[in-house]
Amino acid sequence: MHNSLEDLYPVEWAGGQAVVTLPEHIGITNAGQVRDELLSVINRGATTLIADLTATVSCDQSGAEAVFRAWQRATASGTELRLVITAQIVARMLRLVGLNRTVSVYPSLDAATAARLPAAVGVRAEGVPGRGSGDMTTAQQAHLRMLDAVITGLFQVELGLQAALDLPADPARKRTGEALDDLTGVIGEIRAIVSAARGRPAPPARSGGDRPKAGEPGDQALGSSLSASIANAG
């Protein structure tokens, strides 16, 4: 006798919010099941879907694509998708498919369930009252999506820096550099938000290779100081 998907991946409902607990490993052998369960919950009318990957320690490309498919369906349905991620390797894989810039990511289930920001989707589903951010202006929705991307990006930087602390010196420097490249992107997003609020064109983005040396003015000097501190700690 085969277990149902809900037996394999438990779902807890609280009004229109559903929490799906995902397994320790997501790969080619179970990615299809994960995708089908997430899609099923969306189809059942969830206004907010929280994919709880707290226990997930590995996720390959097929797993990331399963979550990406769920995000696509959530966007079309007006469902807000939130992810709870604690493992850096899982965060990195989901980043490869671009989910770190489009989906709210939280460090704990409590944080994800307590969040009160309007849906990052920014689209109200036709005929479904209360979904999405239909009562907000287009500009407000855009600003919230950018703010959500900033929050997500900062969390990714935090994960990267935490991982660097546990590595030997050379891998730590490499991991720190990757985290600082992410920070550069987040800073660019913050500048874009501020510029949009002031009605000005966004300043040109800097690439990781354009990071100023320590001692130079600006936000990148802080990044260089962080890199040096972590390398010394290693």
pLDDT of residue 125: 33
**Helices marked H in the chain — which ranges?**
5-8, 31-43, 61-77, 88-96, 109-114, 138-165, 169-198, 219-233
**Residue ranges covered by each domain of the chain:** 1-134, 137-234
- Are 81 and 52 in contact, with CB atoms under 8 Å apart? no
pLDDT, position 41? 96
Identify the pLDDT of residue 164.
74
The answer to whether residues 19 and 53 touch, using CB atoms and an 8 Å cutoff, is: no
Encode 62-93 in three state secondary structure.
HHHHHHHHHHHHHHHHCCEEEEEECCHHHHHH
pLDDT at 121: 40
CA atoms within 13 A on the CB side of 147: 13
For position 152, what pLDDT does the model report?
Answer: 63
Strands 80-85 and 104-106: parallel
Q: For position 148, what pLDDT does the model report?
A: 64
How high is the pLDDT of residue 137? 65
List average pLDDT for each run of 10 residues in the chain, which is 234 residues long: 70 95 96 95 95 95 91 90 94 83 89 68 35 53 66 69 77 84 81 74 55 46 48 49
Contact 45, 73 (CB under 8 A): no
- The three-class DSSP label of residue 167 is coil
Return the closest-CA partner of residue 187 out of 213, 218, 214. Answer: 218
Please tell me the number of Cα atoms within 13 Å of 142 on its side-chain side.
9
CATH number of the domain at 1-134, please? 3.30.750.24
What per-residue confidence (pLDDT) applies to 210?
Answer: 53
Residues 185, 153: contact at Cβ < 8 Å?
yes
Strands 58-59 and 104-106: unpaired
